[in-house]
Structure 1
Amino acid sequence: MTRSRTASFFSSLSLWVLVALAGGLAAGAGAQAYGIPGGTGSVGLIDALGQLWLNALRMTIIPLVFSLLVTGIASIADAAATGRLALKAIGVFAVLLVGATIYAFAASIGLHEVWPIAEGAARALIAETSDSAAAEVAANVGGGGLSAFLTSLAPANPIRAAAEDAILAIVVFAIAFGFATTRLETRLRQPVAVFFEGVAQTMIVIVQWVLKVAPLGVFALAFGVGLRAGIGAAGVLGHYIALVCLALIGLLVLTYVVTILWGRIGLARFARGAAPAQVVAFSTQSSLACLPVMVERSVSHLGVSTATAGLVLPLAVAVFRITSSVANLAVVIYVARLTGTEITLATMLAGGLAALAVSVGSVGLPGQVSFFASIAPICLVMGVPIEVLPLLLAVEVVPDIFRTIGNVTADMAAARIVEGRDAAADPEVASGI
């Protein structure tokens, strides 16, 4: 499937998933009010279909996350080997990503304090979820204090850790494995990299197969929610979209502030330079599609040299997604509040580390694939149930726009920051504007 055909497929899929979500909620609410032919037998069958679809997605999580992390780390190591400029760019990416992750917790938890989920609506969406497995994972993450948390970072048995959904341990092992492969001779390193790239692509194909029937799976899950809670559950989805988008808008504002201070550029100049790329991001929801515009505007309007723009921006598109941690953690925290899952300092640390890791590993995936592949591991690390994620995936179209705009803006900001003292003089800064 070519890139254009893939984009077209997922665009039409998003529409059908939204239709299925609305139809499932409406059908479930109708069944609640007027009954359903077959009674509990029909309800059980629909629930089973929804669970089957969810399990089909879940079975790809461990191999996909592990393979993407290994190949993602290999790409960063290769980039670092190209020279000092690339190392500086990676350093800037790292600082911005860590800052964004800290912001993610503060913003999401703060937004929930200011605008909490309605209690009755929360019960509506979680009526059919089961948190027993999540509680077990949470105990593994947060139980026993800091010493138990540190012990859990290195899995004594990676196979057992995978079977028990101990994602954080798997992430740590994958990171160590990925860096270890960079120390091998070329003749040994290349087959390993190719193997895991092949595994990752195979898992993506399976996910694409599962997503082809996403309207059916989402309809079945939404039917159960509508049956138990009525059409009022739709209000929770609107609240969810608003909170995730607000967190991303806050990150966008912070990106401007950091660029002005660290990149030493005037607000008006940076805003004018980034605007065309942001328009393309809004229309395509693809950072890669924005790359030509980003390069041209960075050179012509942001004072970035052609050499820096030509290296930093493609590298940023490949390994740097600043909105990943913010949006993913916003989703996880929202589900935690929905389900009443406690967020402790230990689970925040574990979730932050996992979010940073998967932000590198999940780049380049279609939005529907990256949503589940990125967020489910963080949920498992923090002990948050994942059963509600397919319903949130159905409305991911709106937050995904803000994800892309934020990524494109941060990419151009990073290019200006990396250029540093060599950037073309900014008359606005010189004049004190």
Structure 2
Amino acid sequence: MNDSGKSDAGGFELVAIRLPVVATFAALIAGLGLGAAISGFGLPDWLIEGAALIGTIWLRALQMTIIPLVAGLLVLGCAQMVQAARAGAAARRFLMLVFAVLIAGGVFTAVMLPLVLSIAPIPASASAFLAEVPQGAQEVPDILDFLGSLLAPNIIAAAAETNMLPLTIFFALFATAITRLPKGQGERMLGFFHALANTMLLIIGWVLWLAPVGVLALAFGVGLRGGGGAFAALAHYILVVSAMGAFVLLLAYALAWVLGGINPLRFAAALLPAQAVAVSTQSSLASLPAMLDSASRLQLRSSTSEFVLPLAVAVFRATSPAMNMAVALYVAALAGIEITPALAMAGIMVALIISVGSVSLPGSISFVVSIGPIALAMGVPIEPLVLLVAVEMLPDIMRTLANVTMNVAVLSAVDRSQD
């Protein structure tokens, strides 16, 4: 996830938020460790229930911002994509490659992650992460139910019921319609959603500033229930999700070779400086100068690279469907939820729309905004996400590395297509 605080395409400036990432991670480790250390003692019920209440209140504060924030960001991001498509043939070729890569990543994860988990099962101790998840019968839709759910007759009711798939489709269509309005009307509508997104970002920023407190309380309960095995569960999660991002990384080399006509060894050598910046900063935006230098090393046209790479940083997050679907499917497997082809299709569609429609945000906010709707669309509980966000700084290294590599790979394909 690009951890920039704003988008530099389409003129949409979002409020910059600095999040206590290290403090949140430390709170997770401290909470798990403290809970595991004293799990054998007979703690009073009021202490355990009090910690759970603090965590629940923080979780609900986070949940209440998801739908309005997604609405604002989707309208801004989709309008931005439509504007980019009007920039010329090179932009349209770039966007075609973007959609192809994003769909490939989502489908790969939907097929491969269950196989990976069958070979390397989730540790039994991971069940401690599900203590606060509401229990209930799961409704598994068939293909006809799925097709019928694509559009909601009442968008307000869909929002109240957190039906994310019809909501994301509606706001994508809404954004496209805004770009067709007369200039003054379109600017006023985008201005409203711009203000809505910034307002929600401020609120979610305040909530995430309290993340160390909420995560500490929730992790304490997980440590009490799961003991030291909770650490093994987190390590397993990080490796599995990062493996899905590794597919996108390898796909970038293949794309540069097949469509860009660049030898993989030459491509790898030219990308090393940009990849080093990506790993150290975990920011695609900060890696932009190094990506431009790598494009020069590959002798790609400066006119193409100076157009495509800034656009890619603004609108293209290559690993999003693959790794976001991986998180949602991992939690589904953890909760014992059967993911049917219809549910997987719903998740991929929401992941695709969210990915192409959301502008660049800090990594922790992107985690909540991007994965929450996918999980809701597939009927997956989102409660475990509030603890997984604390370790997102580790999978985020793979996200940024693969995103930066794929940006240059797509650039090489667009540049060659102009021949």
Given the two structures, how large is their TM-score scaled by the length of structure 1? 0.91
Listed as ranges, the matches of 1:132-147 within 5 Å are 132=136, 139=139, 142-143=140-141, 145-147=142-144
Of the three residues 42, 45, 55, the one matched with 2:47 is 42
Residues in 1 aligned to 2:5 and 2:165: alpha-carbon distance in whole angstroms? 32
Listed as ranges, the matches of 1:116-265 within 5 Å are 116-118=121-123, 120-132=124-136, 139=139, 142-143=140-141, 145-265=142-262
Corresponding residue number in structure 2 for 1:307:
303
Of the three residues 332, 345, 353, the one matched with 2:328 is 332
Of the three residues 273, 277, 285, the one matched with 1:288 is 285
Listed as ranges, the matches of 1:356-367 within 5 Å are 356-367=352-363
Corresponding residue number in structure 2 for 1:427:
none
Is the 1:295–1:309 contact (alpha carbons within 8 Å) kept by the matching residues of 2? yes
Of the three residues 109, 116, 119, the one matched with 1:114 is 119
What are the ranges of 5 or more consecutive residues in structure 2 without an aligned counterpart? 7-14
Residues in 2 aligned to 1:237 and 1:363: alpha-carbon distance in whole angstroms? 28
Corresponding residue number in structure 1 for 2:25:
18
Corresponding residue number in structure 1 for 2:9:
none
- The alpha-carbon deviation at position 234 of structure 1 amounts to 1.4
Listed as ranges, the matches of 1:269-284 within 5 Å are 269-284=266-281
SS in 2 for 1:22: helix
Is the 1:269–1:301 contact (alpha carbons within 8 Å) kept by the matching residues of 2? no
SS in 2 for 1:128: coil
**Segment drifting more, 161-170 vs 258-267:** 258-267
Is the 2:248–2:406 contact (alpha carbons within 8 Å) kept by the matching residues of 1? no
SS in 2 for 1:322: coil
Is the 2:320–2:355 contact (alpha carbons within 8 Å) kept by the matching residues of 1? yes
Corresponding residue number in structure 2 for 1:351:
347
- The alpha-carbon deviation at position 171 of structure 1 amounts to 0.5
Residues in 2 aligned to 1:149 and 1:291: alpha-carbon distance in whole angstroms? 40
Is the 1:161–1:169 contact (alpha carbons within 8 Å) kept by the matching residues of 2? yes
Cα distance, 1:364–1:8 mapped onto 2, change above 3 Å? closer
Q: Which has the higher helix share?
A: 1
What are the ranges of 5 or more consecutive residues in structure 1 without an aligned counterpart? 424-433
Residues in 2 aligned to 1:31 and 1:147: alpha-carbon distance in whole angstroms? 51
Of the three residues 376, 389, 411, the one matched with 1:380 is 376
Given the two structures, how large is their TM-score scaled by the length of structure 2? 0.93
CA RMSD of aligned residues (A): 1.8
Residues in 1 aligned to 2:245 and 2:417: alpha-carbon distance in whole angstroms? 29
Residues in 2 aligned to 1:170 and 1:286: alpha-carbon distance in whole angstroms? 29
> Deviation per CA, 1:325-351, whole angstroms, max 9, x where unpaired?
111011111101111011100000000
Corresponding residue number in structure 1 for 2:76:
71
Is the 2:76–2:190 contact (alpha carbons within 8 Å) kept by the matching residues of 1? yes
Aligned residues: 408
> Deviation per CA, 1:103-122, whole angstroms, max 9, x where unpaired?
2222322211221112x223
Is 1:105 paired with 2:116?
no
SS in 1 for 2:39: helix
SS in 2 for 1:325: helix
> Which one-letter code corresponds to 1:68 in the other structure?
L
Q: Calculate percent identity across the aligned residue pairs.
A: 43
Residues in 2 aligned to 1:162 and 1:131: alpha-carbon distance in whole angstroms? 22
Is the 2:102–2:322 contact (alpha carbons within 8 Å) kept by the matching residues of 1? no
Residues in 2 aligned to 1:45 and 1:254: alpha-carbon distance in whole angstroms? 48
